[in-house]
Structure 1
Amino acid sequence: MSQTEPPMHIDTDARTFRYYRHAVEKHWDPHDIDLTADREAMVDLDDVGFEGLKRALALFGAGEDAVAEDLAPLAVVLDDFEDQLFITTQLYEEAKHADFFDRYWREVIQPAEDDRGVERSSPADDRWFSDEYDELFARNERAMARLLDDDTPANRAKAYSHYHMTVEGILAQTGYYGLTRQFDAEAYPDVPHLPGLVEGLTSIRSDEGRHVGFGMAKLKELVESGRVEASVIENTVGELLPLVQASIPDYDGDEPGVQTGELVEYATSKHGQRMQQITAANESIPDVDELTALGD
């Protein structure tokens, strides 16, 4: 005689539960990463490259600080327990990412500034950030906070479009692509190799793949259920894309390394790719490994 399984608190088949488990299994500590080789390699980085690295790290660090602060409203309004399990891991991971970039500045950048005989700098200095960058994150904060007062399907779609699709899925992914290629010793062997930075970025990118996948899956559910028109997502991301493009540091020089045009093209490609996966009925949300891959 067959028996039906008794109901349980957790749906272990849910996508968000699988993301939660992936986070548990892929745990990493930003203070376990060895930065010794990075500190030694700083001597081989010229002044232009050093300033470019500092700007990129400041942008990353500020972005991680912002998204860590802005995610809380979503944790308040989510209904499904599996979603709540996943969001606890995302909050924790955003904090880890901010910790990594802060540690890198303290233990690699500032000692390199001491060696160069220049005044120690701050990653919070306004000179690193453009008006477009500040506006992008201000809009993200407003979109997330709006959920606490008016949690509608359209506002959820806009929140996911700001946070998961644009800030994490396009801007951050573009930054990972550029910075990892620049310093991984394969694409540009004449540029100093920074293995600690690359290791940290690789771990962060694995985390962000889950975050982006979560947001994309939620957007696809909203579209397929008819609660939100695809145009809401398209218009929201479309309005933000110019801010993303303007936030990419401007570098098109003679020195070896990733050029600005390549990064803008990559960001535009990610935008089109993500939108197709969300809005096309015959497309599915990629798995985590594909979402975190550097290639197109």
Structure 2
Amino acid sequence: MTQDARLSRDARSFRYYRNAVERHWDPQDVDLTSDAARLDVLTTAEFDALRAALAKFGAGEESVTTDLAPLAVVLDDVEDQLFLTTQLYEEAKHTDFFDRYWREVVHEAERARGLEESSPHEDRWYDDDYVELFDRMETAMHRLLAEDTPETRAVAYAHYHLTIEGILAQTAYYGLQTTYGPDVEGAPHLPGLCAGLDLIRRDEGRHVGFGMLKLKELVAEGVDPQLLHDTVNELVPLVNGITTAGFDEGVEPAGPGPNDLVAYAAGKHTTRMKQITTASEAVPDVNELTKLESDD
């Protein structure tokens, strides 16, 4: 008698896993050699805002590397487990990239300004909204170990995959890559940072897609969509507080300003929720989720 193969290779989770394997990259390979010298044109306030953004990114990647562990414990399907191993690995790589950027770029720029070398772990980089958002995510994830239900899984996915990666991170990438890309006057082009963020965005496209897929399945199986709306609506004010921190009132930014970032976050929120909670809407294919403007 022929037995079924162990893996369901048509499963979306398995396709996310394979996409991760095929698009592997090494944080050490990103060329950072020209970024530090380009930072000398930034004002003190602009340099502080960039350091705060980089510190938040690095701390966020570091925290989810550990906070995703409860989800790995409770997942049932082997295809989901395979995918999550790649996500944990990728979050570790992202932590590696931001740590390397701080050591090789931020420290060099600080020395050029006559500043003492700083640490990305200093409390000054983190506003209250950021701390609260990640504390809530940690609580939602670790609750799975004591109470694993469709509803607690939905809340955990809504915190991490939908809000932190699908809204906050996407909005922050947009702000940084627009500001420090090649087309904005008044801000330096940082090719190393933008190249690293391109690679991280590819990874996180898979992460967001996986979370949306799991949420859509949970809604189809009976989880009340209002639970997702309520969870995310409680978190969006924190997201807006984080993305708009560091702007000087009355000073026109070189890239997207606070209102632009709030509008961008709202658009991501609306689109993600519609794709999850509307039966006729589909979660984008993995190739669309990981596609970048530079791929065109």
Q: 1:73 aligns with which of 65, 70, 95?
A: 70
Show the counterpart of 2:200. 204
Show the counterpart of 1:219. 215
2:165 is the alignment partner of 1:165: no
Secondary structure at the residue paired with 1:151? coil
> Which of structure 1's runs of 4+ aligned residues deviate more than 6 A?
none
Secondary structure at the residue paired with 2:162? helix
When the two structures are superposed, what TM-score results if normalisation uses the length of structure 2?
Answer: 0.94
RMSD between superposed Cα atoms in Å:
1.5
2:228 is the alignment partner of 1:230: no
Show the counterpart of 2:19. 22
2:261 is the alignment partner of 1:263: yes
Q: Which deviates the most, 10-19 or 34-43?
A: 34-43
* Residues 206 and 289 in structure 1, CA contact (< 8 A), matched pair in contact too: no
Show the counterpart of 2:173. 176
* Residues 185 and 254 in structure 2, CA contact (< 8 A), matched pair in contact too: no
Q: Which deviates the most, 279-288 or 194-203?
A: 279-288
Q: Percent identity?
A: 58
Deviations 1:174-227 (A, max 9, x none): 1111001111112x043111111001000000000000000000000011122x
Show the counterpart of 2:279. 281
The separation in 2 between residues aligned to 1:250 and 1:112, in whole angstroms, is 19
- Distance apart, 1:269 and its partner CA: 1.0
**Structure 2: gaps spanning 5 or more residues:** none
Amino acid at match of 1:246: G
- Distance verdict in 2 for CA 1:55–1:80, change over 3 Å: same
When the two structures are superposed, what TM-score results if normalisation uses the length of structure 1?
Answer: 0.94
5 Å-filtered alignment, 1:121-200, equals 121-186=118-183, 188-200=184-196
- Distance apart, 1:293 and its partner CA: 5.9
**Structure 1: gaps spanning 5 or more residues:** none
Q: Which deviates the most, 217-226 or 281-290?
A: 281-290
Aligned length: 290
Show the counterpart of 1:108. 105
* Residues 202 and 292 in structure 2, CA contact (< 8 A), matched pair in contact too: no
Secondary structure at the residue paired with 1:161? helix
- Distance apart, 1:292 and its partner CA: 4.7
The separation in 2 between residues aligned to 1:288 and 1:179, in whole angstroms, is 24
* Residues 158 and 236 in structure 1, CA contact (< 8 A), matched pair in contact too: yes
The separation in 1 between residues aligned to 2:42 and 2:130, in whole angstroms, is 26
Secondary structure at the residue paired with 1:83? helix
- Distance verdict in 2 for CA 1:209–1:5, change over 3 Å: farther
